[in-house]
Amino acid sequence: MDNSKVIDAQKRFTTTVDNQEELQWINLAKQGDQHAFHSLYQAYHRRIYALCWRMLADKDSAEDVCQEVFVQLWQKINNFRGESKFSTWLHSVATNVVLGHLRKHKNWLQRVFSIEDKPQEEPAVMPELKDSSRPSELDKNIAKLPERARLVFVLFAVEGYRHEEIAKMLGMAVGSSKSQYHRAKTLLREWLTNEGVCDGV
Amino acid sequence: MVSKIVLPQSSKQLSEQELQAQVLQLPTELSPERELWSGIEKAISGKTQYKYEDSQKQWQKAPVAWAASVVAAILLTWGVITPQETLNDSFNGNSQGNINLIAAMQQTFEQQKQGMLVSYGQPNLQDLAPEMQDQFKQLSSAQVTIKKALESEPNSADLLNLLRWTQQQELDLLKQLYSPQWQSI
C-alpha cells in the first residue's frame, strides 16, 4: 500500500465531529464537566472501540480497554492543546492504552523469550457492526492474524501510522514492522482467497 | 454496507489492490455489546483531572525544592561537616568497603529500576512530556554529582543517604508515572 492510501486511512479514521461543538465539549470537559465529556464519549466511543477490537481481537478485552481509554482521556484531557485534531490525539492515546494493556497481559514466558504467537484457530467473537447485519470478512480474518502481524497491519493499513512510528510503539526494528505487515497481507490474501470472497468495488 | 462477490474456489488469489480496497471499506465504527459509559462514569467520579498548568508548576516546584536541598546538603556535607557518622554496621570508616557498598547500592537500584520498567511494559522515557524528562535528567544529574562527591569522601554517611534518597525519588517518579491507577472499572 502506498503513502496516498495511508493518508486515506488517516483521513477516514480521524474525521472529526463538528469542530465548534467539539471544541466546546473539550473545553468544558477540561473544566470537569462530565456532561460535556459524555458528549465526547458518544461521539467517539464506537471509533475507539473499533480500534481496540481490531488490535486486541477480543470483544471483552476491547470493551474493558475502551473504558480505560476514556478514563485516561478524562484524566489527561488537559494535555490536549489543539496542536493536532482531537480525533488524531485521541487515537494515539487509545493506541498507547491498548499497547500498555497487551504488555501487561503478556505472560512471563512471552515477555522473556519474545515467543511469537500463532494465528488464532478459534474465530474471534465479532462485535456488532454499525449499520450492517453481518461482519466484514476482512475483520474476521484480521482477528485471526498472529498478534504482532495483526498490530502492525491495523496500525499501518487501518490507522495510517508509518512503519517508523509503529516500530517505536511496538519496540521492534522498522524492518520487522515491514516484514510483519507483509506477513499479514500474505495471510489475509490467502485466507480471503480460500474463502472465495472478494468485495465488489 | 460492504457488497461481496463470491468467487469460485479456482479463482486467482486476491490481489493486493483488492485487499487494499477491502481495507478502505472497513467500518470506522463498531458498537460494543456492553454498555460502557456507566463504568466510565463511576471511574471518573472523584478522579482528579490532571491539570496541565497546575501539575506543571507542581512538578517544577518539587524538583527545584529537592534539588536545592541536595545541593545544600552536598555543600554542607562536603565543606562544613566532616564525615564522622556511620550509616550502619556495613558503612564504616573502611573506604574500600564503603566503595563496594556504594557499587552494590547502585546495582540494586539499577535492578529495581529495570524490574519496574519491565513490569510497566518497557515504556520509552523519551516519549514523556519534556518537563517529565527534565525530572529524570535532574535526578540523574544529582546522582552523578553525589557519586563524584562520594569518590572523594567514601566515608560520608550523609552523601550515601543523599544518593539513596535520589535513587528512591527516581523509583517513586517511575511508579507515579506508569503504575496503573484505575483497576476497578
Please, which pLDDT band fits residue A82 given cuts at 50, 70 and 90? confident
CB of A200 closer than 8 Å to CB of B22: no
- B171 CA to chain A: closest CA distance, Å? 19
Mean pLDDT of the residues in chain B: 72
Residue A46 in any domain: the answer is yes
Looking at this predicted complex, what is its ipTM? 0.79
Q: Would you give the DSSP letter of residue A123?
A: P
In this complex, the residue of B25, B26, B33 whose CB is nearest that of residue A59 is B33
Per-residue pLDDT tens digits for A25-36: 999 999 999 999
Q: What is the pLDDT of residue B76?
A: 54
Amino acid identity at A10: Q
Please, which pLDDT band fits residue B34 given cuts at 50, 70 and 90? very high
Is the pLDDT score of A98 beyond 80? yes
- B4: which strand partners? A199
Q: What is the pLDDT of residue B138?
A: 84
Helical ranges in chain A per DSSP H = 3-13, 19-30, 34-56, 59-76, 86-104, 108-113, 137-144, 147-153, 163-170, 174-195
Inter-chain contact A103–B121, Cβ cutoff 8 Å? Answer: yes
Residue A112 in any domain: the answer is yes
B5: three-class secondary structure by DSSP:
strand
Q: What is the pLDDT of residue B12?
A: 73
Is the pLDDT score of A131 beyond 90? no
CB of A127 closer than 8 Å to CB of B30: yes
- CATH code of the domain in which A111 resides: 1.10.1740.10
Residue A78 in any domain: the answer is yes
Nearest one of A86, A30, A97, A34 to A61, comparing CA atoms: A97
The CA-atom distances, in angstroms, between B27 and each of A12, A103, B6 are 10, 27, 20
Average pLDDT over residues A37-52: 96
Which is more confidently placed, B29 or B99?
B29
Q: What is the pLDDT of residue A70?
A: 96
Is the pLDDT score of B119 beyond 90? no
Inter-chain contact B36–A13, Cβ cutoff 8 Å? Answer: no
Average pLDDT over residues A156-173: 92
Is the pLDDT score of A10 beyond 80? no
Q: What is the pLDDT of residue B180?
A: 58
| Closest A-chain CA to B22 | A199
Is the pLDDT score of A1 beyond 60? no
Cβ contacts of B124 on chain A, cutoff 8 Å: 168
Alpha carbon distance A54, B83 (integer Å): 61
Q: What is the pLDDT of residue A201?
A: 37
Which of the given ranges, A9-18, A132-141, B48-57, has the highest pLDDT on average?
A: A132-141
Inter-chain contact B29–A171, Cβ cutoff 8 Å? Answer: no
Q: What is the pLDDT of residue B111?
A: 86
* C-beta atoms surrounding A182 within 10 Å: 13
- The number of folded domains in chain A is 1
Inter-chain contact B5–A49, Cβ cutoff 8 Å? Answer: no
Residue A200 in any domain: the answer is no
Inter-chain contact A193–B20, Cβ cutoff 8 Å? Answer: no
Q: Would you give the DSSP letter of residue B3?
A: -
Inter-chain contact B30–A103, Cβ cutoff 8 Å? Answer: no
pTM passes above 0.90: no
In this complex, the residue of B27, B124, B185 whose CB is nearest that of residue A64 is B185
In this complex, the residue of A78, A128, A138 whose CB is nearest that of residue B26 is A138
| Closest A-chain CA to B123 | A100
| Phi, psi (rounded to 5 degrees) for A170 | -95, 0
Is the pLDDT score of A9 beyond 90? no
Which of the given ranges, A70-79, A135-144, B130-139, has the highest pLDDT on average?
A: A70-79
Amino acid identity at A46: R
In this complex, the residue of B4, B12, B47 whose CB is nearest that of residue A200 is B4
Which is more confidently placed, B98 or A32?
A32
Please, which pLDDT band fits residue A182 given cuts at 50, 70 and 90? very high
Q: What is the pLDDT of residue A62?
A: 95
% of chain B beyond a pLDDT of 90: 14
CB of B113 closer than 8 Å to CB of B171: yes
Instruction: Establish how many alpha carbons lie within 13 A of residue B2's alpha carbon, considering only the half-sphere containing its beta carbon.
Output: 24
| Closest A-chain CA to B52 | A78
Consecutive H or E run containing A128:
strand A128-129
Q: What is the pLDDT of residue A135?
A: 61
Domain that holds residue A86: 3-195
Inter-chain contact A79–B29, Cβ cutoff 8 Å? Answer: no
CB of A152 closer than 8 Å to CB of A177: yes
% of chain B beyond a pLDDT of 70: 63
Inter-chain contact B47–A74, Cβ cutoff 8 Å? Answer: yes
Taking CB atoms within 8 Å and a gap of at least 24, the contacts of B111-118 are B112/B171, B113/B170, B113/B171, B113/B174, B116/B171, B116/B174, B116/B175, B116/B178, B117/B174, B118/A111
In this complex, the residue of B6, B36, B45 whose CB is nearest that of residue A67 is B36
Inter-chain contact B118–A111, Cβ cutoff 8 Å? Answer: yes
- The residue length of chain A stands at 201
Amino acid identity at A128: E
Residue A73 in any domain: the answer is yes
CB of B129 closer than 8 Å to CB of B59: no
CB of B72 closer than 8 Å to CB of A99: no
Q: What is the pLDDT of residue B80?
A: 47
Average pLDDT over residues A57-71: 94
Please, which pLDDT band fits residue B139 given cuts at 50, 70 and 90? confident
Average pLDDT over residues A144-166: 94
Unique residue bearing C-alpha cell 455489546: B33
> What count of CB pairs under 8 Å joins A to B?
184
Domain positions in chain B are 97-112+126-179
B124 alpha carbon, distance to own chain's centre:
9
Please, which pLDDT band fits residue B53 given cuts at 50, 70 and 90? very low
| Closest B-chain CA to A112 | B118
